[in-house]
């Protein structure tokens, strides 16, 4: 909302009454300080993923293991149940990709079926060792290189088990607990020029696999 006209003369008069040197210093500070800018989005999981899933990302168990196998058996070029994270947290600077135990099982089966091979049974114990990894890739043309990544739940930062940031992007690995679909989480991609924030509602976390 614009300033009321009645306030403009007062603002101008106040500036005119300032000594010249402090006024120049104020102008220089305004020019030299980096612009504080940011972008915020709300995560959306891909629609139409079958078989349906509403229990979120979790350590693999018998239910999610066989569910992921059925997902992979669909084949096709781009099954939403395998690549459910495509387009999550849309923004101009970074692309996010998630890797989980469910995705490992589903992808292994899908890759075989796509080659007209029998659907395999991926290692259950191997999948039990897989945690959640987020890959952050800078988009072509962006000048906003990643310098920090924060996962917040309940307003508190959750520390990753593994952190690797460099080359404009990064990879971070977390346990499953922070992704429980009982409360929203916030992702902060801190860049050199601005911070990109993505809120993931609990209802969307339920669709994560």
Taking the whole predicted model, whether its pTM rises above 0.85 is answered as no
One digit per residue, the tens of pLDDT, for the chain of length 209 reads 332 333 322 333 333 443 444 434 433 433 343 434 578 889 998 999 999 999 999 999 999 999 999 999 998 999 999 999 999 999 999 999 999 999 999 999 999 999 999 999 999 999 999 999 999 999 999 999 999 999 999 999 999 999 999 999 999 999 999 999 999 999 999 999 999 999 999 999 999 99
Alpha carbon distance 157, 6 (integer Å): 45
Distances (CA, A) of 107 to 13, 70, 84, 116: 67, 11, 11, 14
């Amino acid at each position: 909302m614009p300033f009321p006209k009645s306030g403009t003369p007062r603002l101008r008069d106040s500036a005119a009454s300032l000594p010249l040197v402090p006024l120049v210093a104020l102008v220089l500070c305004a020019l030299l300080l980096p612009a504080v800018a940011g972008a915020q989005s709300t995560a959306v999981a891909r629609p139409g993923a079958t078989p349906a899933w509403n229990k979120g990302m979790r350590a693999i168990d018998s239910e999610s293991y066989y569910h992921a196998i059925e997902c992979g058996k669909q084949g096709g070029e781009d099954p939403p149940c395998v690549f459910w994270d495509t387009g999550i947290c849309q923004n101009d600077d970074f692309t996010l990709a998630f890797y989980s135990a469910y995705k490992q099982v589903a992808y292994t089966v899908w890759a075989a079926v796509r080659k007209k091979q029998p659907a395999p049974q991926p290692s259950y114990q191997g999948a039990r060792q897989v945690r959640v990894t987020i890959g952050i890739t800078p988009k072509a043309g962006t000048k906003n290189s990643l310098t920090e990544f924060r996962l917040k739940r309940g307003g508190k930062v959750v520390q990753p088990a593994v952190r690797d940031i460099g080359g404009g992007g990064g990879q971070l690995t977390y346990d499953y607990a922070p992704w429980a679909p009982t409360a929203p989480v916030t992702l902060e991609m801190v860049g050199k020029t601005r911070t990109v924030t993505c809120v993931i509602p609990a209802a969307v976390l339920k669709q994560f696999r």
